[in-house]
Amino acid sequence: MSDSTPIRVDRSPTLFLERLFGDVALQSVAIIVVVLALTALGALLYDVFSDGWSRLSWQFLTSFPSRRPAEAGIYPALVGTLYLVGLTTILAMPIGVAAAIYLEEYGKGNRLARIIEINIANLAGVPSIIYGLLGLGLFVRTLGFGRSVMAGAGTMALLVLPIVILSTREALRTVPKSMREGSYALGATKWQTIWHQVLPSAMPGVFTGLILSLSRAIGETAPLITIGALTYVPFAPDGIWSPFTVLPIQIFNWLSRPQAAFAENAAAGIIVLLAMLLAMNSVAIILRDRYQRNRA
């Protein structure tokens, strides 16, 4: 050992600097990026609230749209949004949950189920406006629903279906295998096990996923414009075959007018929309927390 020449290390000055400052530099840049992104979120909220807060009033929530911005309100859009979300839930939830149960509990190792899975993953990435074109061709024209709440809810149900299926499967996956095996050991059939054991214990998770999918539906605008939801509706929908508008479309309509007063209305509408989303997400988070505590 003693006669071997010592290993010489070339000291590269850039490597030295990299070792000295690299960590600090990378970390600082990354922190700056995160802070900038959160600042953008703050700026967005500040901008909306400073423009729209003063327009917000009971009168704004209960009035019909008007050519005079100060008198205009969002009543038909609000009712339309509730109709749309309710009907979308009724259409999407049973099919979505049933599909998830099939794929998670029955379809394991089944070739057909594998194809359906890949198909759902691809559907989740289709732009929402394409669903609008589907709704226009299928519901509005072929099935003759016209530009009704039903056509809108059908379109939205197809749009959220992949999300409902994916989140329900997540929820089913968290149910421990031992629970199923215990049920089988007592002589229950597969469906009895699913209906009496697996589903009840997965329910909070299923609802969390459902609420999050529906909050996606509340904010969607493009597919409803495509199927021809009206941009100016001076009446509230009175049934599922009635023409309708929703909050995001009312906001879009006000945004496309040049007067600044309508932009204020748009901002006030956005505050209402964000409040609805916040409420829904809070419910989802509370459900999930309670669920996790029960599990622990």
Partner 1 sequence: MNNRQRRVVEFGIERMLFLCAATSVLVTGGIIAVLLFETIAFLREVSIVEFLTGTEWTPLFSEKHFGVLPLVAGTALVSAIAMVVALPAGLLAAIYLSEYAPGRLRRIVKPLLEVLAGVPTVVYGYFALLFVTPLLQQLIPTLSGFNALGPGIVMGIMILPLVSSLSEDALHSVPNGLREGAFALGATRMQATLRVVVPAAFSGISASFILAVSRAIGETMIVAVAAGQQPRLTANPLVPIETMTAYIVQVSLGDTPAGTLEYRTIFAVGMLLFVMTFVLNLISNRLRRRFREEYA
Residues 62-101 that bind partner 1 (CB under 8 A): 94-95, 98-99, 101
The answer to whether the beta carbons of residues 133 and 226 sit under 8 Å apart is yes
| Spatial distance between the Cα atoms of 284 and 287, rounded to a whole number of angstroms | 5
Q: Which x/- pattern over 162-201 shows residues binding partner 1 (rule: CB under 8 A)?
A: x--x-----------------------xxx----------
Coil, strand, or helix at residue 136? helix
Task: Identify the residue among 38, 61, 90, 279 touching partner 1 (CB under 8 A).
Answer: 38
The answer to whether the beta carbons of residues 287 and 207 sit under 8 Å apart is yes
**Which of these ranges, 17-25, 69-77, 80-88, 199-207, lies near partner 1 under the rule CB under 8 A?**
17-25
Number of H helices, E strands in the chain: 12, 0
Task: Identify the residue among 59, 122, 174, 259 touching partner 1 (CB under 8 A).
Answer: 122
**Closer residue to partner 1 in complex, CB, 203/263:** 263
Task: Identify the residue among 160, 171, 218, 240 touching partner 1 (CB under 8 A).
Answer: 218
Residue 2 Cβ vs partner 1, minimum distance, rounded to whole Å = 26
Residue 3 Cβ vs partner 1, minimum distance, rounded to whole Å = 27
Q: Is 54 in the site for partner 1 (CB under 8 A)?
A: no
| Spatial distance between the Cα atoms of 193 and 173, rounded to a whole number of angstroms | 14
Q: Is 137 in the site for partner 1 (CB under 8 A)?
A: yes
Q: Is 60 in the site for partner 1 (CB under 8 A)?
A: no
Q: Which one-letter DSSP state was computed for residue 175?
A: S
The answer to whether the beta carbons of residues 199 and 106 sit under 8 Å apart is no
Strand partners, 148: 243
| Spatial distance between the Cα atoms of 248 and 132, rounded to a whole number of angstroms | 15
Q: Which one-letter DSSP state was computed for residue 257?
A: S
Q: Is 37 in the site for partner 1 (CB under 8 A)?
A: yes
**Closer residue to partner 1 in complex, CB, 73/248:** 248
Task: Identify the residue among 49, 63, 86, 133 touching partner 1 (CB under 8 A).
Answer: 133
The answer to whether the beta carbons of residues 154 and 140 sit under 8 Å apart is no
